[in-house]
Structure 1
Amino acid sequence: MSGSLSGKCVVVTGGAQGIGLECARAYVREGAQVAILDLSIEQGERAAVMLGPVALFVHCDISSSSSVEKAVSVVLAALGKVDALHNNAGVAMPSKPLHETDEAEWDRLFGVNLKSVLWTTRYFYKELLSTRGTILNTASMVGLIGQANHAAYVATKGALISLTKAMALDYAADGIRVNAICPAGVWTPMLRQWAAEQENEADIASYLDRIHPLGSCPEGDVIADAAVFLLSDAARFITGCALPVSGGAELGYRL
């Protein structure tokens, strides 16, 4: 897909590390200019340097309406347009059943993982309308099949998948496609943090390999390749899709 995003300007929230950074790297490789919106100044600046002169870092609290509105102004001043918005920013902690989740933890998960999409869509909509752009949401397989001891996180990802379908219907007449990508396990700093919180941490790597029928827990590049496709013109007739990139993790019982 060499050059499949040539001339495009892509915004990636949470793009300073993990899946977001892998996607930003892939977008640049495919010819795009990239704006990374992230809360971490240190990681964001490092990512922009690594990606080179076609990358821009904008400090942003994605859960804050005013912060996102300000970031939009910075992005447009630098890039002039937005062709694609990748809502990737997310948090996964705490890993708890619902009755042990306190209100602050619930509000943070929903603020970052879900309400942020309200703010980015509200403030980038006009630009996406003018470019007949596309929106990609990083969801998760847990939003489709569930996960034990992770109730609030699962709720945010299930809601994001449903929201993706509603947005796809709302914006189809505008020529704006909206899709979601659903990883299973992917080795990111966030997953490594989750693994460290588990009682049987030493067995987690083996477990994460076993849940993927294709044989291993991948790095973020496999998600990035699928994301490039969904943002490209090759996916021009795909909208409202929640695409599993999961190595078959959801396919059913296995020996």
Structure 2
Amino acid sequence: MSALADKVIFLTGGAAGIGKACALAYLRAGAKVAVMDKDEDALKDLENEISRQLLCAISGSVTSGEEVKAALEKTVATFGKIDVIHNNAGIANPSKPLDQTTDEEWDNLFDINLKSVLRTTRYGIGHLKKTKGCILNTSSMVGGIGQENHAAYVATKGGMSALTKAMALDYAPFGVRVNAVCPAGVWTPMLRKWSAEQPDRAGIEQYLDNIHALGYCPEGDVIADVAVFLISDAARFVTGCVMPVSGGAELGYKK
């Protein structure tokens, strides 16, 4: 039997990058997936790749409680239940130290990266209690080891990792598991665009390879494979885990 047979997954930020890799991996593993994303063009592209019977594409922003609530309700109306909520939506900009970060930039990062988890949990936990499902959060290694010129982003990901553990304790009595995946560098459209804009593109690509002890910056599929495991019944006794999927980056940069 497929690892995620009969599972229904609600995934935020799933139309591109790591989110899209996860959506495709979930579908290959037998799940049905509802993807909420504010990028309507990327959502349409995803719909064109996938059977409408297996995918529910929902345009909306995780910064709106009403839109999150409506998206969760549409998922249940379409597929009958929710087994998994994967909180993947996030942004990394601006690239600044703390004293140069504006209040608006700080608030926007926290609203998208962290408060979105409050919204999906507030409106989705009742569904997960019914199915004894689970929550997966996309965090980042920088939340534990830091990153220069990304203070607000690092703060959101450190908060995401800590929040994962608190949520695991709160919802364990209901049979609901909560875990996180922690990538380091991953080639996504956003990262490729950023690297192409750098003066020394070759040097940047070498740097991104070098921060991983295994020697290369991966594609999103390596994150997706671990995500499939963490939301599957194979991980039924795993909760509160903040799982590095980082090629050993947390062990120390090679250069």
Q: What is the TM-score of this pair, normalised by structure 2?
A: 0.96
* Greater mean alpha carbon deviation, residues 100-109 or residues 160-169: 100-109
* Greater mean alpha carbon deviation, residues 7-16 or residues 192-201: 192-201
Corresponding residue for residue 56 of structure 1: 56
| Partner-residue secondary structure (3-state), 1:178 | strand
Corresponding residue for residue 29 of structure 1: 28
The answer (yes or no) to whether the contact 1:61–1:67 under 8 Å persists in 2 is: yes
- Unpaired segments ≥5 residues, structure 1: none
The answer (yes or no) to whether the contact 1:183–1:223 under 8 Å persists in 2 is: yes
The reply to whether residue 140 of structure 1 matches residue 132 of structure 2 is no
Corresponding residue for residue 109 of structure 2: 109
Corresponding residue for residue 4 of structure 1: 3
Quote the RMSD (CA, aligned, Å). Answer: 1.3
Residue 55 of structure 1 deviates from its aligned partner by 0.7
Corresponding residue for residue 70 of structure 2: 70
CA gap of 1:197–1:157, structure 2 versus 1, over 3 A, is: farther
* Aligned-partner Cα distance in 1 for 2:50–2:98: 39
The answer (yes or no) to whether the contact 2:12–2:35 under 8 Å persists in 1 is: yes
* Aligned-partner Cα distance in 2 for 1:109–1:153: 7
* Greater mean alpha carbon deviation, residues 41-50 or residues 21-30: 41-50
The answer (yes or no) to whether the contact 1:10–1:86 under 8 Å persists in 2 is: yes
Corresponding residue for residue 239 of structure 2: 239
The reply to whether residue 216 of structure 1 matches residue 216 of structure 2 is yes
Q: Encode CA deviations 1:175-205: one digit per residue, 9 max, x unaligned.
A: 0000000000000022224435655444111
| Partner-residue secondary structure (3-state), 1:181 | strand
CA gap of 1:134–1:48, structure 2 versus 1, over 3 A, is: same
Structure 2: which amino acid aligns with 1:183? P
Structure 2: which amino acid aligns with 1:219? E
Identity within the alignment, % = 58
List structure 1 segments (4+ residues) > 2 angstroms apart after TM superposition: 192-202, 252-255
The reply to whether residue 92 of structure 1 matches residue 129 of structure 2 is no
Corresponding residue for residue 81 of structure 2: 81
Residue 48 of structure 1 deviates from its aligned partner by 2.3
